[in-house]
Amino acid sequence: MDEQHRKRLLELIRNPPPGSKLEAARDYGIDLSLFLRSLEMTPAERLRELGAAQPFLKALWGAAKRRGSPALKGSGEADSGTFGGGIVGASVEPAVAVRAEKRGAVLCLTIQRPPLNILDLATVREFRTKFEEEARRDGVRLVEIRKGGLAAGFSAGTEIRDHFRERAPEMLREFHSLIRSVLYAPRPTLAVVEGHCLGGWMELAMACYFIVASVDARFGLPEINLGAFPPVAAVLLPRLIPEKRALEMILTGNWITGREAFDLGLVNRVANKPDLEEEVEKFRQGILGKSPRVLALARRAVRLGSREAFESGLREAERIYLDELLQTEDAEEGLRAYLEKREPKFEN
């Protein structure tokens, strides 16, 4: 691809057509410039790295063709399910969504559901199973949770379709079981966050003992925009940051940066992206250099009484969500509007 064509595609990515899938993807946290790399990948590389991101790649391809980019001539129609010689249309086996890898005394759990690392029920169950099995293994002294693939952020949250009345009870039960597993983990847990960390994944990061983030990471709870609220954050966030700021995040859906999260005490360390891994390593060594047994005892002492308060609060938050929120038309309207790509019409 020559420089002129690259510039045209970058312009499309930076200024997507209003109301397009590209605009929605950008607003929800996808770093679309990463997809430009796919145009310079070999077919094997595209298949390996981008197979799960097919819908967004097809949207990018189709929009670029409609803008008349010569770089895309002869590529086939966007609606045909092909991308750069049929790669997007190729059959791709479902990938493992959660990868567990032990590096010395550190267990790394990596979420790999590009482009947004969205959690559906199957992934929530897979994550919980691997977390509970692997975190207890001999020699594990720290568990790190990260994102993988070409996703632009840690994660954009849980699957929207699992929030409707029919599926919500099961999703809440499974997701809150995962939160409890992380919150009461037998080993210290560290969330490494860069890019967007939204909704359920912000709740999961909060459940970790520690968070190290890039300065430009974005933490947010957008559920209110869909006619809902985040039960775990409603109980946990006011205990981690000042209540008024917690209310602001939950009731407005406004995001905060990694730097702001650090200033509020939500995040333990922040660093510029090029320095993030170095900062993680420093923090990691500060934990690994201590006695595992003494760390476990200290964690128990710090959290005396908090477990009972959290469980009581979460039970009531779940009841409000299931018995009151989901009975409202506004809750259904918010979810339908999001899936139909329109503004919700809340009627109270």
pLDDT tens for each residue of 103-155: 999 999 988 776 667 778 888 999 999 999 999 999 999 999 988 754 445 55
Q: What is the mean pLDDT of residues 89-93?
A: 34
**Which residues are known catalytic residues?**
203, 223
b/e 67-80 (16+ beta carbons within 10 angstroms → b): eebeebeebbebee
Residue 64 has pLDDT above 60, yes or no: no
Summarize pLDDT for 2-12 with one digit per residue, the tens.
666 666 766 67
pLDDT for 61: 45
Higher per-residue confidence, 117 vs 38: 117
Q: What is the mean pLDDT of residues 87-116?
A: 70
Structure tokens at 245: 């700021």
Q: Give me the residue label for tokens 């047994």.
A: 293
Q: What is the mean pLDDT of residues 14-21?
A: 66
Residue 24 has pLDDT above 50, yes or no: yes
**Ramachandran area for residue 331 (φ above 0: left; ψ -120 to 50: alpha; else beta):** alpha
Name residues whose C-beta falls within 8 Å of residue 247's C-beta, 6 or more positions apart in sequence: 238
DSSP letter for 195, please: S
Is-contact 197 155, C-beta < 8 A? Answer: yes
* Residues pairing with 106 in the sheet: 103, 142
Q: What is the CA angle 147-127-254, rounded to 5?
A: 55
Alpha-carbon span 9 to 72, nearest angstrom: 10
DSSP-H helix ranges across the chain: 3-14, 21-27, 33-36, 43-50, 54-66, 121-134, 168-183, 200-207, 231-240, 243-252, 258-264, 276-288, 292-302, 306-319, 329-339
Summarize pLDDT for 249-297 with one digit per residue, the tens.
999 999 999 999 999 999 999 999 899 999 999 999 999 999 999 999 9
Going along the chain from its start, the domains and CATH numbers come out as: 3-80 (no CATH), 98-319 (3.90.226.10)
pLDDT for 261: 97
Pairing of strands 218-220, 210-214: unpaired
Q: What is the mean pLDDT of residues 201-211?
A: 95
Residue 287: φ, ψ to 5°: -90, -45
Q: Which of the four pLDDT bands, split at 50, 70 and 90, describes residue 21?
A: low
pLDDT for 80: 31
